[in-house]
Each structure stands twice: as C-alpha cells, then as structure tokens.
C-alpha cells in the first residue's frame, strides 16, 4: 500500500493503466493553453490580415505612381498611423484576455479592427475632406486597459484578502462590452 | 492511512467534499497565470498610458498648426522614434520576465519608461539644442536581453545536466538591476 | 485504500518525502513554461539583435551627415518598413508557436529574419537600382498564419468531435517548413 501511495502521482498511476498516457497528457496540456487564448489568436490573425490589406494598398500606390503624389502621401500616412498604434493594441488586448477573460477582450478587439478599417477608409476619402486626427479607437483601448486593471486588482484581492469577485466581474464585463457598440 | 487519504491532493479531495471544485480549480489556475505576469502587465499598462500621452501631444500639435512647422516635425519625429522601439522593448521585457523572473524585468521596464520620457521631453526642447540620436535605452534593452539569455541557458543546463542555478541567478539578477539606476 | 492511493497526487506525496518540494515544483513549472517557448525566445532575441543593427545603421547615417541626403533617406526608409512589419511578424510567430508547435514556427522565424536582412541590404544598394517594394516575407507570414489556423482548427476538432490529429499535423508541418527554403 505504502509504496503505491508514494509512487502515486497521476502520471505514474495512469501509466499502469493506459499504454500512452504521457503523450495524451501533453496534448491535453497543450490544448488547455490553446483553450485560454484561441479567441485572442483568431482576432490577432484577423488583424494581421487587415495589416496585409493596408500594406498592399501602400504597395500598389507606391508602384503605380512612383512619385510623391497626394494619394500616396495619404495612404502612406494612414498606414503609418495604424501601424504606430498596433503594438499598443496587441499588448492591451492580450493582457486583458489573460488577466480577466478572453471573450470580452476578443470582442473589443474585433470592434477595434472595425474602427481601424473605418479610419483607414476615411483617411483615403476625397481630397477635399479634412483628414481625421492621429488617434482613433480611444474608447476600445480604454476599455481593454480597464479590463487589465480590474483583473490585476481582483488577483491582488484574492492574494491578500482571499475574496474572489472574478465571477461577478466577468459578468459585468460581458455586459459592459455591449456599450462599445454604441457609436 | 486515513490522513494520507485526507492529505491526498487538493483537487481529488475537494472533489469529494464540495459541489463546485472544478470552477475553483480553474480560478486557481487562472490566478496562477496572473501571479507570474502581473508585474509585467502593470508595466505594460504604464507604457500604454505613456504612448497615449505621446500620441496626444502629436494630436494637439497636428490640430493647432495644421502646417508643417518645426514643432510638429519634432514631436512627430520623437513619437515615431519611440514607437519604432516599442515592440522590441515589449518583446524583450516579456521574454525576460517569462524566462527568468518577473520582478527585475518589470523594474528594468519601469527604468526604460523613465528613460523614454526623458528622451521625448528632451526631443521637444529648445530649437537651438541639437536633437538626440535615434537610439535610447540601450543599456536597459541589453540588460533585458542578457536576462533572456541567462534564463534559457539555465533551462538548457537543467535539461541536459540536471544542475539548477536558477536561485543563485535570480539573486544576482536582483542585485544587478540596481546597476541600471546609475546614470 | 487502493483508490485513495490511485487518487494521490505528486505534490502531496512528494511533500512527505523531500524537505523542499514546493520550490522544486515551482522550478519545474517555470521550466515547463520555458520548455514550450525557448526556441521562440531565441528567435525573438536574434530579431532584437537585428533591430539593433538596423537602428545603429540609421544612427550612424544620422550623425555623419545630419542633412537629408539620399543615403539617409534610404536607410531610414528601409528601417521604417522593417519596423512596420515587425509587430505583425512577432504576433504571428508566437501564435503559431503556441497553437501548434514551436520548432517549425521558430524555423520559419529564422527564415523571415534572413529575408529581412536581404531586404534591408538590398534597399541600401546602389542608388541606380530601383528600391524594392514595401512588402517582404509574404510567404513566411502566410505559412505562420496557416500554422495558427491549423492549430485552432485542431483544437476545435478535439473539443467538439474528440478527434485529435495534432500528431499528424505536426509531422506534416515539419515537412512543409522545408518548402520555405525554396528561393
């Protein structure tokens, strides 16, 4: 009995039962990681596709004219403004997804991408229009930052006071995400 | 025997006692993830705030003058140089925090942000001054890269030789972080 | 008794054997994290070194001439194009490494860095040559994106149908990485 208890450990025990438990456990572990981030990965992929779309616009304008025309200036500037804000967006979205919960973070990410698309298209618009400012998507970034702050505050509460409000917080966050849809 | 059974593992035992142990374990898991990164997330958030501060400076200058004045050129260039280096900084800080330990990495990150703030303010200074160069924060980035290298070297040592120097390395790293404070 | 022994867990059992098992387990945990990402971290470090190399080229050109010469324009533009694509590359590589497997992702990352080096050097070439376009490394980014998609598709298959093709997929991915070597 005793040496069974000593040897126990899930791995060792199941090793006597099934033929390939270790590989199975590794796959499970790997899937557990993917489970917590797969929505974030999907949003990241969509944002990469959008980046490629922007870059291709610049590429085409660059090859067509080859001179510093107004259209090239516009598309290049729009692309640069989007790219400047991109690492910030990625960092905040992933932090929010890891610290609190991934579904609202991914949803906010999608909304950010829609806002970015509108900004880019608006930048390329008629030359008579005034160009939009340097910043965009402030509300989404603020929302994601707040999610990070709340997630860390909840962690510190659990650690020092032992009270866990994560469930309530997640419910509220899920509801609050809908506010982002208001134009 | 009985107390062995009672001590058996939090998961297995509480599964027999309480009705919702799985949710509890998932929260614990999630908190374990947050525990290892929360300092890094805080530094990331501070850097995002700083980015927003920089971007707002550009936005204001852009709206006020609307012409390509010298002030606009300066603030735009300073912001661009900071943004160019931002993904590099984020990547190195997170790698260092994950591979070795998060406290020195986060501390170095804070110092980098201070250096960046000084660089930005210095760039906007009197027009008579010469602008600083393209690079800044070289020492912090080097320090963080070294932390990554040491973390990976330690992992490979554990894997191939079984000798683990992580504890000593972390102590030395904590002490070495103080060197970054030397101006 | 028997099922109690079977349910025991490594942590609880080894706690009775060794004096400092918790620290050991934490080190093991930390090493398990490093195990899954160390190749990605190495590639990230190499890319940071390359960024530093690019930045130093810009710095030197900036200090030498201090006027807007053609050489400065070229090196600055090449550096900017590389930096614009950098966050996209990092995000896709890390997602592919986490979702599917790190070895092919890191290998594709190395190839991307080689392509980037060639692009940068080509951009600085003789003034008579036409500069290359805005985009580069399309094939590598596409490959890494496909890896992400396959990893997530596999996870969803496991979750909803219980069929796991990860082993086959990884073998195919490893083989497919060789295709990137074709110029």
3-class SS letters over A131-167:
CCCCCCCHHHHHHHHHHHHHHHHHHHHHHHHCCCCHH
Rounded to whole angstroms, how far apart are CA atoms B64 and B58?
Answer: 10
pLDDT given for residue A10 in this prediction: 37
Q: Which among B1, B98, B164 has CB closest to C27? A: B164
- pLDDT: which is higher, C95 or C2: C95
Compute the C-alpha angle B103/B108/B112, nearest 5°: 145
- pLDDT: which is higher, A88 or A10: A88
Cβ neighbours of A84 in B, within 8 Å = 55, 79-80, 83
Mean pLDDT, residues A141-158 taken together: 90
pLDDT reading at C139 higher than 80: yes
Rounded to whole angstroms, how far apart are CA atoms B41 and B38?
Answer: 5
C14 touching B (Cβ < 8 Å):
no
B98 touching C (Cβ < 8 Å):
yes
Which of B28, B36, B38, B91 is the best mutation test for A, with the most CBs of A within 10 A?
B38
Cβ neighbours of B41 in A, within 8 Å = 95, 98-99, 148, 151-152
Whether residue C15 contacts residue A8, with contact meaning beta carbons closer than 8 Å, is answered with no
Rounded to whole angstroms, how far apart are CA atoms B150 and B166?
Answer: 9
Cβ neighbours of C84 in A, within 8 Å = 55, 79-80, 83
Per-residue tokens: B41: 């997330």
pLDDT reading at C126 higher than 70: no
Task: Write out chain B's pLDDT in tens, 183 residues.
Answer: 344 443 444 334 333 334 444 555 555 566 778 888 899 999 999 999 999 999 998 888 877 765 566 778 888 888 998 999 999 999 999 999 998 888 999 999 999 999 999 999 888 875 555 667 778 888 899 999 999 999 898 888 888 887 777 778 888 888 888 887 876
Rounded to whole angstroms, how far apart are CA atoms B72 and B20?
Answer: 59
pLDDT reading at C134 higher than 80: no
B33 touching A (Cβ < 8 Å):
yes
pLDDT given for residue C4 in this prediction: 41
pLDDT given for residue B176 in this prediction: 82
Judged by DSSP in three states, C165 sits in coil
| Yes or no, beta carbons of C7 and B7 under 8 Å apart | no
Per-residue tokens: B111: 């110092």
pLDDT reading at A107 higher than 80: yes
pLDDT reading at C114 higher than 70: yes
Residue A66: pLDDT band by 50, 70, 90 thresholds? Answer: low
Compute the C-alpha angle B144/A42/B90, nearest 5°: 15
| Yes or no, beta carbons of C17 and A6 under 8 Å apart | yes
Q: Which residues lie below 8 Å from residue A39, measured CB to CB, with a gap of 6+?
A: A97, A102, A103, A105, A106
C76 touching A (Cβ < 8 Å):
no
**Rounded to whole angstroms, what are the CA distances from C73 to C32, C68, C70, C127?**
46, 7, 5, 11
pLDDT given for residue C72 in this prediction: 81
pLDDT reading at A19 higher than 80: no
pLDDT reading at C62 higher than 90: no
Predicted ipTM > 0.90? no
Q: Which among A5, A62, A83 has CB closest to C13? A: A5
Give phi and psi for B8, each to the nearest 5. Answer: -40, -25
pLDDT given for residue C2 in this prediction: 43
Residue C26: pLDDT band by 50, 70, 90 thresholds? Answer: low
Between C102-124 and C21-65, two packed helices, what is the crossing angle to 10 degrees? 10
C58 touching B (Cβ < 8 Å):
yes
- pLDDT: which is higher, A15 or A169: A169
């Amino acid at each position: 009995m005793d040496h069974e208890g000593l040897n126990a450990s899930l791995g060792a025990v199941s090793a006597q039962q099934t033929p390939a438990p270790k590989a199975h456990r590794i796959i499970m572990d790997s899937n557990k990681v993917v489970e917590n981030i797969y929505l974030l990965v999907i949003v990241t992929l969509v944002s990469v596709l959008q980046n490629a779309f922007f870059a291709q616009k610049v590429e085409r304008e660059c090859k067509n004219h080859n001179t510093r025309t107004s259209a090239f200036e516009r598309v290049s500037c729009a692309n640069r403004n989007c790219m400047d804000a991109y690492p910030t967006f990625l960092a905040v979205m992933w932090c929010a997804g890891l610290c609190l919960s991934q579904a609202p973070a991914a949803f906010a990410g999608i909304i950010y991408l829609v806002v970015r698309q509108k900004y880019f298209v608006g930048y390329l618009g008629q030359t008579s229009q005034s160009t939009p400012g340097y910043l965009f998507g402030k509300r989404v970034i603020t929302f994601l930052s707040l999610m990070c702050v709340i997630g860390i505050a909840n962690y510190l509460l659990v650690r020092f006071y032992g009270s866990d409000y994560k469930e309530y917080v997640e419910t509220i966050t899920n509801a609050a995400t809908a506010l982002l849809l208001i134009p």
